Structure 1
């Protein structure tokens, strides 16, 4: 058992650094990379299959608070996180989160929500790849209506799909609110932290009486955090540094291709689970 823990610790530490780096580079929380990692590692550690899905999501959200908080703080210090629009994003995200959760619970099937999300990502990636507006041509006057809509949409999809919202906020701020790509990525990290933090508290609360183990805090698997948080922190800091050195046009294209890759992954998962 000890050898299993050591092996899992090495895998989680290496994965943590690379996920942190990508999170810092692209302004993402990393949820779509954390969860598959935990799906593989948790059964190897003897965690019951019945709680692996919820534990993977809960632990992923806890890790996302680290990556997003680290990214947000680095962006604040460099002056890239737009404090003037952050509050409007959060004001939109709160009702969006409730509406998205209610829609998932009462109307849409999980497969349908995933397909709609994939279509949305494909649409936004194509729009970003066009790159019709130069960074220097972005409007100086803020469109607060578009920013509120962006916040609502990110909260809506976070509630609908259990994601942090970074894949939604960045392209919408860039394409619809005319925020430069680096500012959009930086500001999205604050929204991801907000969504991940409160979702983490929910998983702690709902799992508190269901799991009786010193290794769990609610549904969060504490040893995974112990192994992942240090490399996550340093990987995220390095990713943010690289992000600020890369040309904005290259960054925009990288993010667009990343959205396409996520969309393809979602569609493949839906098809493989259906047939």
Structure 2
């Protein structure tokens, strides 16, 4: 990997880590479009670019989620009982998600990502949270909910917070507990999704040097290191900046990134 690409991934990882700490969101929706653009610029095989961007984004969550979970756990905010109930379904769904993605061509996968990000941006822009109307399901219900969260997260390379947080608040989990618990769920999502992307990607022809299945290891290393360093800075800045206003700005940014991915899907 040449110096210009290293610098680009350093800047990207720093920005994503800061945004994650500042706004309490995962970086997948930011990472995927920018990694897509960088790999396109470096003339990677076009049929692999979207798959590699999503897989690499998902793999970074294994590292970035740990510091977030530790911080939330120290405040006693993680509902570990909910984690235990959702995790089995999430592990299965996060393995299946990349397999579904492999069956889709690059255009279809980019289109799915664009629609998902646009919907998530709308949720953030209007700060829509479903009112708690029921309790958490049990047994098969939680396994099924975890499976849906895992499949969607594995397909778009995100930590699942845009799905798991609304689900938990709908089930009367307090919002700060839902956010903290979602952070804890990011690790099993990323772990199963990463292993799946390695397994299903290994059979693909023309993988670029530095790839492990669909994962581009140099990008994973640089982005993860940078984001882990800047995430605490973002969390500190959250106490001094108007986060609600920043979330609206971030939502508009997501619309722009969704538009880029739509362009990639239609080009």
1:144 equivalent to 2:136? Answer yes
Distance of aligned partners of 1:56 and 1:154 in 2 relative to their CA distance in 1, 3 Å threshold: same
Q: CA deviation at 1:20?
A: 0.9
CA distance in 2, matches of 1:101, 1:162: 9
Structure 2: any 5+ residue segments left out of the alignment?
A: none
Structure 1: any 5+ residue segments left out of the alignment?
A: none
Contact 2:97 2:155 in 1 (8 A): yes
Report the counterpart of residue 185 of structure 1 in structure 2: 179
CA distance in 2, matches of 1:144, 1:232: 33
CA distance in 2, matches of 1:80, 1:187: 7
TM-score with structure 2 length normalisation?
Answer: 0.73
Q: CA deviation at 1:198?
A: 0.9
CA distance in 1, matches of 2:114, 2:228: 33
TM-score with structure 1 length normalisation?
Answer: 0.72
Distance of aligned partners of 1:14 and 1:86 in 2 relative to their CA distance in 1, 3 Å threshold: same
CA distance in 2, matches of 1:269, 1:18: 19
Distance of aligned partners of 1:97 and 1:132 in 2 relative to their CA distance in 1, 3 Å threshold: closer
Q: Indicate the RMSD between aligned Cα atoms, in angstroms.
A: 4.0
Q: State which of 2, 12, 30 in structure 2 corresponds to 1:33.
A: 30
Q: CA deviation at 1:97?
A: 5.2
Question: Aligned residues, how many?
Answer: 259
Q: State which of 234, 241, 248 in structure 2 corresponds to 1:239.
A: 234
Distance of aligned partners of 1:111 and 1:220 in 2 relative to their CA distance in 1, 3 Å threshold: closer
Contact 2:30 2:257 in 1 (8 A): no
Residue by residue, what CA displacement relative to the aligned partner does 1:240-274 show, whole Å, maximum 9, x if unpaired? 4445x479xx7677657756764675467447845
CA distance in 1, matches of 2:28, 2:86: 20
Report the counterpart of residue 17 of structure 1 in structure 2: 14
Report the counterpart of residue 45 of structure 2 in structure 1: 48
CA distance in 2, matches of 1:214, 1:119: 33
Distance of aligned partners of 1:237 and 1:81 in 2 relative to their CA distance in 1, 3 Å threshold: farther
CA distance in 2, matches of 1:102, 1:208: 12
CA distance in 2, matches of 1:145, 1:9: 45
Contact 1:5 1:45 in 2 (8 A): no
Q: State which of 217, 226, 233 in structure 1 corresponds to 2:212.
A: 217
Report the counterpart of residue 71 of structure 1 in structure 2: 68
1:197 equivalent to 2:174? Answer no
Distance of aligned partners of 1:92 and 1:62 in 2 relative to their CA distance in 1, 3 Å threshold: closer
Contact 1:167 1:259 in 2 (8 A): no
Contact 2:97 2:151 in 1 (8 A): yes
Mark the structure with the bigger radius of gyration: 1
SS of equivalent to 1:9: helix
